[in-house]
Amino acid sequence: MVDFALDGETKKMSATFYRGETVNFYPQDSSFDRDDAVVTYLAKGLMPPEPMIGPDTVTVAFGSCFAAHMSNHLSNLGFNVPTKGEARAYISTMGDGIVNTYAIRQQFEWAWQGRVPEVPLWHGYDGKEFGYDEEVREQTRRIFDSAEVFILTLGLSEIWYDEPTGEVFWRAVPTNRIDPSRHKFRNTSVGENVANLEAIYSLIRQHQPDATIVFSLSPVGLTATFRGIPGIVANSVSKATLRAALDEFTRHHAGDRNLFYFPSYEVVTTCFERPFIDDRKHPHWTAVDFNLTLFERYFCQTGMTDADLLTAWRAARAEDRRLAQMTSVEAQAAFQRQSDERSEEMRRLHAEAKAVAEQKRVELMQQREAERQARLDAHKERLEARRRSAGTAG
């Protein structure tokens, strides 16, 4: 046996096998009580050396839920998130519903390569067909062309697809569009997802070579599986498939200093005693907020410090312990109260932003009118000068 240090304590382990030069131990319960818990068990080796997202940095986030939360968070900070303003682009209207790697890849190929699927694949939450409107494509291309940071969150590996073309739907097939003879279901492989990630990466690097790219995995589980196995088993396979694909992909591009994996999935599923609300799929706001705080500390130029992050971590852990003591009904009620408060805050911020935008519009119109009037006055003065000059000459 040999001694080793874990969280400041000396422990023993077998000396039979070589452990390598780098050893990072899995945390114990007590590990999360340490001041260096976040840095050691969540951030080490994953985060940029300095934050790169400032108020004017154009940041595009879409995919699954974490990207939507991040869009809202950055927008609330007053940062530049075009998907919060470009209402017609599908990456705005369906920013948290483009959940598989095929669907994310389709948006990039459509915007930058003009590649249009052969059959209708894209439907909204209500099952309404979105179509392949050229104006929307151009809007999406403009957003991508302006982006300095891409935040892309993967959601699930299960897909519905059109068998004759092999093309993949965003989500499931609407009931009124299902054709069992051609619409099929399957679980994608790690290799397929790696190939899609490579295609996405290649397109971004071709069009935006210096952009920062952040991939993450949503902790939100499957509502249902169409496989003949229990949903919790299928969900485990789905997340493992995507997580393995992300790891293989990021290891292959380890030399790219502008490519990151953010551990939103691990934060929720590993760090909290009661991470999910009563549907056992969606995280409590405690877990969501800490994820956003962790991202802000390392990626955003807001002046957040390690001390601020530690305070947020301790507050989140305390709230999590409080939730863990509640009944399911009590915890769900707490979640609903927080959701209502957030909705009200979002409405307030939206109204403020709308008022500011209207004020800017009015000021711009007034400025243009003043400039127009100045040009008109100058023209009149020139005409009058010519008349006076002509009169003098006569």
Q: How far apart are CA 231 and CA 223, in angstroms?
A: 8
Q: How far apart are CA 257 and CA 262, in angstroms?
A: 14
Question: CA nearest 124: which of 136, 142, 141?
Answer: 136
pLDDT on residue 336: 83
Radius of gyration, alpha carbons of the chain: 26
Q: How far apart are CA 245 and CA 253, in angstroms?
A: 13
Q: Which residue's entry shows tokens 């507050």?
A: 315
pLDDT on residue 353: 58
Could you report the per-residue pLDDT of 310-326, keeping only the tens digit for each? 999 999 999 999 999 98
Q: What is the CATH number of domain 52-262?
A: 3.40.50
- Token pair, residue 142, equals 């403009």
SS3 state at 119: coil
- Token pair, residue 314, equals 């301790």
Low-confidence spans in the chain with pLDDT less than 70: 1-7, 9-17, 86-87, 345-347, 349-358, 360-361, 364, 390-394
Largest alpha-carbon pair distance within the chain? 115
DSSP state of 95: T
Report the DSSP beta bridge partners of residue 9. Answer: 6
Total number of residues shown for the chain: 394
CB-count burial class (<10 Å; 0-12, 13-18, 19+) for 351: exposed
Q: Which residue's entry shows tokens 């068990």?
A: 41
Question: 332 near 276, Cβ under 8 Å?
Answer: no
Question: CA nearest 200: which of 237, 147, 134?
Answer: 147
